[in-house]
């Protein structure tokens, strides 16, 4: 064991000399040797995850980690106890206990991570020092009707008994919390913001202290299939929606049905009074690309939008204003349609490029996640497609509150790089996005999900491809679920989610995108969650 670091270092030096695809080794960019291929997907096969050479990962919590303060069926980090173990009803049945009558507990799928460094934080144990480094997440799945969601806090400095704290299962009005997808920290409101990928579920604001007070703020921010949410330096909130559209002409292609929003508060941190806008893309002056214009297969507007080139002009259109429309919770998607905003094929998350003064926003588009979609385009390049493989879009404006801008494809997906979901910057120029391709596409392409790194300053129109830092495996629990339709409740193959690089600064200068990440500085940390199956949350440790 004592020789392992030396062997690894030697291998890295050799790899650096032999290949040009190793990322630069300096204070900004994490050094790694890319993984050459994704893990294959095969029935009964549970391969280990493969990290790029020079990267390590540490388990910070996993689904079987017991909550220090369980409540009802909410007992563990990644499981609800709706199906107790036959030997001990206090414990959830995490895998089928009997082949004759297979069943298992609800896996909760911890999702987007938010990292904060905070002092004087309390917990259920009043005599315990919980430290200063915390990772918050909502949970995407839940048992019951309505499904039981909850908010957890991983106490990164704590011992095993105090590792995960249950922060809330109900909102301020004593309603069960909906299942949660996205999260971020609003330093002006001093609240965690939590989104639900469900057009009828609330958008929440939650205090970071224990126990968390959770408030429904959808009277101003609206309700939608919201997933990604991000502040800018003006205190605006950028929200990315993920709602699948109807099928096109009986095919596996889906009509774009999800919008990119910007919430402009009446003043910074005001989550009750403000204006919700949606992004509109113009194919020509005064001619927006709308929901109805993308209904036909290979609609020309949609094909053009997904082609490399100079892109299209954009503007923001108002869909709701509390000063005019009041504070009753509303559903944003139909209002965005009525305002002729431009829908995309399931955008999921977005992030501001560090150092760009919040004038450059890059967001992911998941696409159709099916190899048979007639809107995929070429399997190797995506050329000629209408967004079936998804990709990465770049929106450039004069500033975060600008009324107009320009959007273009930064990277067009292909079969081997598709279903892009969470996104975060690793340094000033390097960004990572991770796949959520889904069981169907995993089987079709014989490949599980991967995490990739792009150079934000590069031009990918010529066919260059990102570097793979993670070829995700599939744990045994997820392999069982994939073979048995999740026993009627759980997802199958593992998925990568919650990718985050942050220094945890809760102040206004700590908004993601304000500073250039420096992973060589230990205060900057890199996290992700291997969702489904064992639901493990990792911290990635790069060598420098």
Report d(CA 527, CA 134) in Å as an integer. 12
Residue 192 bridge partners (DSSP): 185, 206
Residue 184 bridge partners (DSSP): 193
- Tell me the two tokens of residue 377: 């385009």
Query: Do 497 and 537 form a contact (C-beta atoms < 8 A)?
Result: no
- Write out the DSSP string of 435-477: E--HHHHHHHHT---EEEEEETTS-GGGS---EEEEE----HH
What one-character DSSP code corresponds to residue 336? H
Report d(CA 434, CA 449) in Å as an integer. 8
* Closest-CA residue to 154 (of 130, 170, 119, 180): 130
Is residue 253 classed exposed, middle or buried when 0-12, 13-18 and 19+ CB atoms within 10 A define those classes? buried
What is the CA 315 to chain-centroid distance, rounded? 25
pTM of the model: 0.94
- Tell me the two tokens of residue 2: 């004592």
* Closest-CA residue to 31 (of 5, 4, 13): 13
* Closest-CA residue to 280 (of 269, 291, 288, 271): 288
What is the CA 203 to chain-centroid distance, rounded? 16
Report d(CA 209, CA 111) in Å as an integer. 20
For the chain, 544 residues long, give each residue's pLDDT as a single digit of tens. Answer: 333 332 223 222 223 222 333 444 445 778 899 999 999 999 999 999 999 999 999 999 999 999 999 999 999 999 999 999 999 999 999 999 988 889 999 999 999 999 999 999 999 999 999 999 999 999 999 999 889 999 999 999 999 999 999 999 999 999 999 999 999 999 999 999 999 988 889 999 999 999 999 999 999 999 999 999 999 999 999 999 999 999 999 999 999 999 999 999 999 999 999 999 999 999 988 899 999 999 999 999 999 999 999 999 999 999 999 999 999 999 999 999 999 999 999 999 999 999 999 999 999 999 999 999 999 999 999 999 999 999 999 999 999 999 999 999 999 999 999 999 999 999 999 999 999 999 999 999 999 999 999 999 999 999 999 999 999 999 999 999 999 999 999 999 999 999 999 999 999 999 999 999 999 999 999 999 999 999 999 999 998 6
* Closest-CA residue to 153 (of 142, 141, 168, 140): 168
Query: Do 289 and 305 form a contact (C-beta atoms < 8 A)?
Result: yes
């Amino acid at each position: 064991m004592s020789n392992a670091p030396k062997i690894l270092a030697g291998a890295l030096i050799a790899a650096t000399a032999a290949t040009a695809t190793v990322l630069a080794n300096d204070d900004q960019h994490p050094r790694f040797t890319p993984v050459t291929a994704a893990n294959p997907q095969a029935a009964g096969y549970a391969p280990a995850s493969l990290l790029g050479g020079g990267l390590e990962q540490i388990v910070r919590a996993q689904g079987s980690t017991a909550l220090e303060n369980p409540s009802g069926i909410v007992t563990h980090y990644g499981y609800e106890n709706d199906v107790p173990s036959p030997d001990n009803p206090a414990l959830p049945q995490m895998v089928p206990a009997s082949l004759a009558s297979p069943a298992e507990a609800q896996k909760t799928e911890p999702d987007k991570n938010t990292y904060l460094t905070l002092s004087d934080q309390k917990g259920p144990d009043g005599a315990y020092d919980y430290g200063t480094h915390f990772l918050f997440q909502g949970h995407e799945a839940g048992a019951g009707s309505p499904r039981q969601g909850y908010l957890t806090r991983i106490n990164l400095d704590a011992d095993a008994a105090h590792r995960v704290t249950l922060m809330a299962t109900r909102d301020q009005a004593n309603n069960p919390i909906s299942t949660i997808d996205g999260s971020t920290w609003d330093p002006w409101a001093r609240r965690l913001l939590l989104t639900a990928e469900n057009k009828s579920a609330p958008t929440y604001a939650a205090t970071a202290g224990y126990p968390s007070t959770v408030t429904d703020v959808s009277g101003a921010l609206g309700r939608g299939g919201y997933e990604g949410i991000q502040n800018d330096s003006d205190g605006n909130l950028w929200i990315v929606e993920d709602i699948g559209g109807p099928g096109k002409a009986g095919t596996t292609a889906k009509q774009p049905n999800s919008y990119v929003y910007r919430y402009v508060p009446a003043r910074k941190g005001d989550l009750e009074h403000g204006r919700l806008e949606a992004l509109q893309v113009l194919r020509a002056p005064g001619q927006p690309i709308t929901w109805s214009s993308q209904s036909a297969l290979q609609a020309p507007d949609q094909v053009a939008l997904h082609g490399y080139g100079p892109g299209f002009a954009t503007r923001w259109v108002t869909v709701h204003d509390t000063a005019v429309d009041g504070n009753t919770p509303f559903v944003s998607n139909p209002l965005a349609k009525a305002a002729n905003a431009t829908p995309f094929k399931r955008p999921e998350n977005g992030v501001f490029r560090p150092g760009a003064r919040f004038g450059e926003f890059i967001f992911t588009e998941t696409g159709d996640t099916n190899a048979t979609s007639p809107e995929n385009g070429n399997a190797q390049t995506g050329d000629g497609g209408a967004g079936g493989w998804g990709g990465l879009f770049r929106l450039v404006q004069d500033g975060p509150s600008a009324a107009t801008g320009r959007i273009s494809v930064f990277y067009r997906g292909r079969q081997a790089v598709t279903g892009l979901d969470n996104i975060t910057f690793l340094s000033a120029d390097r960004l990572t996005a991770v796949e959520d391709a889904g069981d169907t596409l995993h089987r079709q392409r014989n490949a599980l999900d991967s995490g990739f790194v792009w150079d934000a300053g590069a031009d990918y129109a010529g066919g260059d491809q990102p570097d793979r830092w993670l070829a995700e495996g599939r744990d045994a629990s997820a392999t069982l679920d994939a073979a048995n339709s999740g026993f009627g409740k759980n997802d199958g193959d593992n998925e990568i989610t919650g990718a985050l690089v942050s220094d945890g600064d809760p102040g206004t200068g700590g908004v993601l995108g304000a500073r250039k990440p420096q992973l060589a500085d230990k205060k900057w940390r890199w996290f992700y969650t291997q969702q489904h199956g064992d639901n493990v949350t990792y911290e990635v440790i790069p060598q420098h």
